[in-house]
Amino acid sequence: MVVVQWSGLSMTSLGISRSFFTSVSHRAPGRWALAGFHTSAPLGPMFWEKDERSGYKSQLDDVPRLKLVKDGLKMMPSECKKWIEEWKGKLFGDFAMPRPGIPDNVWKFDSAEDLSKWTVTVDADNSEGFSSAELVLSPVGKGLFQGNLCTLVPREGRIKRTGYCAMKSHRLTRSFQRYDTYDWRDYTHLVMRVRGDGRTYMLNLHTAGFYDILWNDMYQYLLFTRGGPHWQYVRIPFSKFFFSSKGRIQDKQFAIQLDRVNSLGIGVGDKINGPFRLEIDYIGVEMDPSYQEEFAYELYTMPKYTTAH
Of 26-40, 78-92, 217-231, the range with the lowest mean pLDDT is 26-40
Give yes or no: residues 220 and 253 share one domain: yes
Sign of CA dihedral 140, 142, 148, 151: negative
Asked whether residue 189 is assigned to any structural domain, the reply reads yes
Asked whether residue 132 is assigned to any structural domain, the reply reads yes
pLDDT recorded at residue 263:
94
Residues 242, 211: contact at Cβ < 8 Å?
no
Asked whether residue 294 is assigned to any structural domain, the reply reads no
Q: What is the pLDDT of residues 60-119, one digit of tens each?
A: 567 788 888 888 888 899 999 989 988 888 888 777 788 898 999 999 999 999 999 999
Write out the H or E segment, with its range, that includes residue 85: helix 65-92
Give yes or no: residues 174 and 219 share one domain: yes
Give yes or no: residues 106 and 23 share one domain: no
Give yes or no: residues 61 and 108 share one domain: no
Q: In 3D, which of 246, 250, 192, 265 has the Cα closest to residue 224?
A: 192
Confidence grade of residue 178 (pLDDT, cut at 50, 70, 90): confident
Written as one string, the DSSP assignment of 57-80 is --GGGGS-HHHHHHHHHHHHHHHH
Q: In 3D, which of 194, 270, 192 has the Cα closest to residue 227?
A: 194
Give yes or no: residues 111 and 35 share one domain: no
Question: What's the CA gap between 203 and 199, in Å, rounded?
Answer: 13
253: pLDDT strictly greater than 70: yes
Give yes or no: residues 114 and 173 share one domain: yes
Give yes or no: residues 194 and 242 share one domain: yes
Q: In 3D, which of 269, 29, 25 has the Cα closest to residue 165?
A: 269
Mean pLDDT (whole number) for 212-233: 89
Residues 158, 165: contact at Cβ < 8 Å?
no
Question: What's the CA gap between 128 and 164, in Å, rounded?
Answer: 10
The number of C-alpha atoms within 13 Å of 85 and in the hemisphere containing its C-beta is: 9
Mean pLDDT of the chain: 80
Give yes or no: residues 277 and 160 share one domain: yes
Q: What is the pLDDT of residues 45-77, one digit of tens each?
A: 555 666 666 666 665 567 788 888 888 888 899
Burial of 157 (0-12, 13-18, 19+ CB in 10 A): exposed
Which domain does 28 fall in, by range? Answer: 12-47
Give yes or no: residues 136 and 159 share one domain: yes
- Looking only at the bridges linking them, the beta strands covering 248-249 and 242-245 are antiparallel
Tell me what percent of the residues of the chain surpass a pLDDT of 70: 78
Numbers of helices and strands, H then E, in the chain: 3, 15
Write out the H or E segment, with its range, that includes residue 119: strand 118-122
Residues 238, 254: contact at Cβ < 8 Å?
no
Give yes or no: residues 68 and 119 share one domain: no
Give yes or no: residues 36 and 63 share one domain: no
Asked whether residue 260 is assigned to any structural domain, the reply reads yes
pLDDT recorded at residue 93:
73
Maximum average pLDDT range among 26-40, 204-218, 253-267: 253-267
Q: 283 CB contacts (<8 Å, ≥6 apart)?
A: 105, 106, 107, 190, 191, 192, 264
CATH of residue 263: 2.60.120.430
Asked whether residue 164 is assigned to any structural domain, the reply reads yes
Maximum average pLDDT range among 33-47, 137-151, 198-212, 245-259: 137-151
Asked whether residue 309 is assigned to any structural domain, the reply reads no
pLDDT recorded at residue 156:
79
Buried b (16+ CB within 10 A) or exposed e, 2-35: ebeebeeeeeeeeeeeeeeeeeeeeeeeebbbee
Residues 160, 241: contact at Cβ < 8 Å?
no
Residues 309, 303: contact at Cβ < 8 Å?
no
Give yes or no: residues 187 and 267 share one domain: yes
Of 38-52, 113-127, 290-304, the range with the lowest mean pLDDT is 38-52
Asked whether residue 263 is assigned to any structural domain, the reply reads yes
Report the number of distinct structural domains present in the chain. 3
Asked whether residue 36 is assigned to any structural domain, the reply reads yes
